[in-house]
Amino acid sequence: MSWEDNVRRVVPYVAGEQPKDQNVIKLNTNENPYSPSPKVASVIKGFDCDGLRRYPDPDVSALVSALARHHGLDREQVFVGVGSDDVLSMAFLTFFTSGKRILFPDVTYSFYDVWANLYRISFEDQPLDENLCIRKEDYFKENGGIVIANPNAPTGVSSGRAVCEEIVRANPDSVVIIDEAYVDFGGESCVPLIENYDNLLVVQTFSKSRSMAGMRIGYAMGSKKLIKYLNDVKFSFNSYTMSAIAIAAGVASVEDEPYFAQTTAKIIATRERTKKELAKLGFVFPDSKTNFIFAAHRTVPAQEIFEALRAERIYVRHWNKPRIDNYLRISIGTDEEMDRVLAFLKAYLRDK
């Protein structure tokens, strides 16, 4: 017996590659191609660094209030964490303690099973159908909790609010988490359902539509009771999770709605144009409502295209996993970046 016999061993989450070389087209981690709101830059530039010698507000009051106003909720219905990963991890730790299996799709955000294993939570994958959509009936059975990314990652498919509501309604004794990391690109948010279901937790992030992946801001919305339970666990874990600069920058982003609407609209327009061009090149894909496209070529293997793109210094995401090993997840960049990707693919596939 050694100390290593008592180590908690887990298989960690594998993030998308972050190349040190900045002279690449980076379309592998769904980052926003546009800068955050100019108001964010202004706040950071004018931040009084003397304030950093003090602890930040543990209640994150200014940002919680801004988000509550934005979504038409009470402050007590909003929880803020260090990126939605932090929020989701805290939710797993808080709500999934029954010993029953939690449910989530077999093709989805690959951090879910990592957290389940880390916290010793039993889980059961629910297979997506042949069109990579969830089957709501799979979630109408006994469980210890449910997690659904909507729109889904990595498929980009949005299930719609009505489907999510049926699942929430069918599970009054479980907490249902709807992970809306990509909802601002065309999905239908479940936030309006919060007032009707005290077991619904909706999670969103600043990393995608608000261009602030590097700042690490995520948040959850739900009934006052759910949010209180989350805060109780947070304050038993780490009271000062968010920096003062992040709080101020987050408020500035939320308060610049015109810029937010402008940049998300640009990404959606580029995505729709890219869909049409990829289809002409022989790609097939589900209808994405995110800032990426999950595409497979009709004749050329995904691994081959992935390696060819990489050799051209174009980074996309590929998983060597069952059911999705012939797909590439291509984040939406600027129009110029997508034009370069499409031009390369057209030339590469011409003789295939």
Q: Is the pLDDT of residue 16 over 90?
A: no
**pLDDT-based confidence at 333, cuts 50/70/90?**
very high
pLDDT given for residue 18 in this prediction: 87
pLDDT given for residue 23 in this prediction: 86
Tokens in use for 206? Answer: 């600043």
pLDDT given for residue 34 in this prediction: 98
Q: Is the pLDDT of residue 250 over 80?
A: yes
**pLDDT-based confidence at 130, cuts 50/70/90?**
very high
Q: What is the pLDDT of residues 84-97, one digit of tens each?
A: 999 999 999 999 99
**pLDDT-based confidence at 352, cuts 50/70/90?**
confident
**pLDDT-based confidence at 19, cuts 50/70/90?**
confident
Residue 198 CA: distances (Å) to CA of 41, 77, 224, 272: 37, 11, 8, 36
Q: Which of 188, 183, 227 is nearest to 74 (CA)?
A: 227
- SS3 of residue 299 by DSSP: coil
pLDDT given for residue 14 in this prediction: 84
pLDDT given for residue 238 in this prediction: 87
Q: Given strand 328-331, what is the order of strands in its sheet?
A: 283-284, 292-297, 328-331, 317-318
% of the chain at pLDDT higher than 90: 91
Across the range 224-229, mean pLDDT stands at 98
pLDDT given for residue 299 in this prediction: 97
| Contact present, 108 and 88 (Cβ < 8 Å) | no
Across the range 165-183, mean pLDDT stands at 98
Tokens in use for 202? Answer: 């909706």
pLDDT given for residue 35 in this prediction: 97
Q: Which range is most confident: 5-19, 233-247, 299-313?
A: 299-313
pLDDT given for residue 240 in this prediction: 86
Three-state SS string over the chain comes to CCHHHHCCCCCCCCCCCCCCCCCCEECCCCCCCCCCCHHHHHHHHCCCHHHHHCCCCCCCHHHHHHHHHHHCCCHHHEEEECHHHHHHHHHHHHHCCCCCCEEEECCCCCCHHHHHHHCCCCEEEECCCCCCCCCHHHHCCCCCCEEEECCCCCCCCCCCHHHHHHHHHCCCCCCEEEECCCHHHCCCCCHHHHHHCCCEEEEEECCCCCCCCCCCCEEEEECHHHHHHHHHHHHCCCCCCCCHHHHHHHHHHHCCHHHHHHHHHHHHHHHHHHHHHHHHCCEECCCCCCCEEEEEECCCCHHHHHHHHHHCCEECEECCCCCCCCCEEEECCCHHHHHHHHHHHHHHHCCC
pLDDT given for residue 15 in this prediction: 84
Across the range 335-344, mean pLDDT stands at 98
How far apart, in whole angstroms, are the C-alpha atoms of residue 278 and residue 99?
Answer: 45
Across the range 105-113, mean pLDDT stands at 96
Across the range 34-63, mean pLDDT stands at 96
Taking every pair of Cα atoms in the chain, the longest distance, rounded to a whole number of angstroms, is 63
pLDDT given for residue 99 in this prediction: 96
